[in-house]
Chains A and B, each alone.
Chain A
């Protein structure tokens, strides 16, 4: 399903922002808010996993239904999960399309990666402490 990805801040993201290795942060940052009708169309329930793809990449997230999100839109908190699929094009402004990324949403059984795993996907190395 084609959607527009919108991102923003949230309290729970802010509370755990300095603990990116934590389970709390993972669950906040990897949640994908969808309109309930869109979830019906996709045939998934709250808590199911979805794969979001864009020309920049793809990432697996946990779907959450939200009435505040319009149809054809998905919402995520800012962070490494959202950024895994956002293009780095800035149209000459320095600012990527954090609120206006075209993506494809599909149901999946694959697992949600940790922040460390995401970073390893792009050449990093986890630091466990």
Chain B
């Protein structure tokens, strides 16, 4: 059977034009997708059944036992951490927030080690953005700053920017100017009209220089800023102010390098400045397929996009304190529930190490590095493959992930609801 217009759940692009050939519980072929998408659908090896760590290895256990033990662990915990959420759909995220509220947990999502600093910047200065179709149909200047779309979002350029035919940009390749800013000359830099190689840690200074030039203060700029010649900076500022519609996409090169959220703030303020000359927008390149959805769901339910601590009864938010890496580094949490993510691989050593010291439960379809650190893993459906649900694209457009096959696994939302019901039953009103 051929299924059209399938949504790829892997990255924040949520490309929704895939064609899948399926037979029974198997996917035979993926068309239109990138290599990440193909791997997502075709190499989908699952943990077969719930497992529990024993003194010498691992044993399979029934779902009911795994769910009961998980509920027991959470109930008995004084300071539980619920983490992950970005590779599953909104309904699961929503049940997760309810559990966190019920047991007074800290709940955090993967933006904490991704675009968390972008959120902090947005909370200081706002976010002039748009949906990706605005860029596709109008933009004549595209800037990729501290991100590598060819590697991390392989179809971003062909669907939304460089190579995408837009209504006001019928001849995209000729009519769009592409600027790539990075500390490293990567493949994305290779196709740029202007490649700007910044010295590591120099983003803030370069952004400040561009803001100054846009404000007409180029005389104060030294000959070189973080390795960039003044002439190139002036040329780039000129390209921006002469654009009809400009779009900046930025990645972890801004959020993870020195300055972190202040880099992003500076980039947003450059965008703000450019809007006094022409139309300019800026957007983070969100990584996980539904990481933006976890921010949205957390926000409408708790008021905060990530790092929410319910220990006081109310929702409390203080990044740096209530963020997952900090909670783990301080050895503060005494139990962890990890859903749809892999902090074992993606958290610094000391943070991951604490997960192995406390009862950690992983609800995820795949065996990953966190498996080894867990006491229990409960396999479930993968959103967009054998489960349907809502995901939010990097620009905030909500898209319904489809269920294309059935592999007989329970939905993670169902597993969490059973845990929630147990907790409600045991903890009373």
Residues of A whose CB lies within 8 Å of any CB of B are 4, 6-11, 14-21, 29, 56-57, 67-70, 73, 75, 78-80, 83-100, 115-116, 118-120, 122-127, 129
Tell me whether A68 and B185 are in contact (CB under 8 A): yes
Is B90 in the interface zone, CB < 8 Å from A? no
B residues near A95, Cβ cutoff 8 Å: 112-113, 116-117, 255-256, 260, 323, 325
Tell me whether A80 and B367 are in contact (CB under 8 A): no
Docked CA distance A67–B190 (Å):
13
**26 A–B contacts from the bound complex (CB under 8 Å):** A4-B200, A6-B200, A7-B256, A8-B152, A10-B151, A14-B35, A14-B151, A15-B43, A20-B368, A21-B367, A68-B185, A80-B345, A83-B345, A87-B350, A88-B325, A89-B329, A94-B325, A94-B326, A100-B256, A119-B356, A119-B369, A119-B373, A120-B372, A123-B356, A126-B372, A127-B371
A residues near B320, Cβ cutoff 8 Å: 90-94
Interface centre among A7, A98, A119 (most CB of B within 10 A): A119
Beyond A20-B345, A88-B326, list 19 extra A-B contacts (CB 8 Å). Answer: A8-B252, A8-B253, A10-B152, A15-B38, A15-B39, A16-B39, A29-B345, A87-B348, A93-B120, A94-B112, A94-B319, A94-B324, A95-B112, A96-B256, A96-B325, A115-B372, A119-B352, A119-B356, A127-B367
Docked CA distance A118–B352 (Å):
11
Given contacts A11-B151, A68-B185, contact A123 B51 (CB under 8 A): no
Tell me whether B257 and A99 are in contact (CB under 8 A): yes
Tell me whether B35 and A11 are in contact (CB under 8 A): yes
A21 to chain B, nearest CB (A): 6
B residues near A79, Cβ cutoff 8 Å: 345-346
A residues near B252, Cβ cutoff 8 Å: 8-9, 98-99
Which residue of chain B has its CB nearest to the CB of A97?
B256
Tell me whether A122 and B151 are in contact (CB under 8 A): no
Docked CA distance A32–B348 (Å):
17
Tell me whether B184 and A68 are in contact (CB under 8 A): yes
- Encode contact with A along B135-149: 1 for CB under 8 Å, 0 otherwise: 000000000000010
Interface centre among B10, B117, B201, B368 (most CB of A within 10 A): B368
B residues 26-47 with Cβ under 8 Å of A? 34-36, 38-40, 43-45, 47
Residue A83 contacts which of B260, B261, B347, B367 (CB distance < 8 angstroms)? B347
| Chain B interface category by residue count | 35 or more
B66 to chain A, nearest CB (A): 14
Is B277 in the interface zone, CB < 8 Å from A? no
Docked CA distance A29–B372 (Å):
17
Tell me whether B43 and A70 are in contact (CB under 8 A): no
Tell me whether A6 and B183 are in contact (CB under 8 A): yes
Given contacts A6-B183, A15-B39, A119-B372, contact A93 B348 (CB under 8 A): no
Tell me whether A88 and B44 are in contact (CB under 8 A): no
| 5 nearest CB pairs, A to B | A94-B323, A123-B356, A92-B320, A124-B372, A119-B372
Tell me whether B58 and A6 are in contact (CB under 8 A): no
Residue A18 contacts which of B45, B255, B256, B321 (CB distance < 8 angstroms)? B45
Tell me whether B351 and A94 are in contact (CB under 8 A): no
Is B133 in the interface zone, CB < 8 Å from A? no
Tell me whether B200 and A70 are in contact (CB under 8 A): yes
Docked CA distance A93–B48 (Å):
38
Docked CA distance A70–B346 (Å):
24
Is B258 in the interface zone, CB < 8 Å from A? yes
A residues near B350, Cβ cutoff 8 Å: 56, 87-88
Is B342 in the interface zone, CB < 8 Å from A? yes
Is B328 in the interface zone, CB < 8 Å from A? yes
B residues near A67, Cβ cutoff 8 Å: 185
Docked CA distance A17–B261 (Å):
27
B202 to chain A, nearest CB (A): 11
Tell me whether B58 and A127 are in contact (CB under 8 A): yes
Residue B357 contacts which of A21, A80, A123 (CB distance < 8 angstroms)? A123
Tell me whether A85 and B349 are in contact (CB under 8 A): yes
Tell me whether A80 and B323 are in contact (CB under 8 A): no
A84 to chain B, nearest CB (A): 5
Docked CA distance A22–B345 (Å):
14
B residues near A99, Cβ cutoff 8 Å: 200, 252-253, 256-257
- Encode contact with A along B353-383: 1 for CB under 8 Å, 0 otherwise: 1001100000000111101110001000000
B residues near A73, Cβ cutoff 8 Å: 183-184, 200
Given contacts A10-B151, A70-B184, A80-B345, contact A94 B45 (CB under 8 A): no
- Encode contact with A along B74-87: 1 for CB under 8 Å, 0 otherwise: 00000000000000
Is B390 in the interface zone, CB < 8 Å from A? no
B residues near A129, Cβ cutoff 8 Å: 47-48, 367
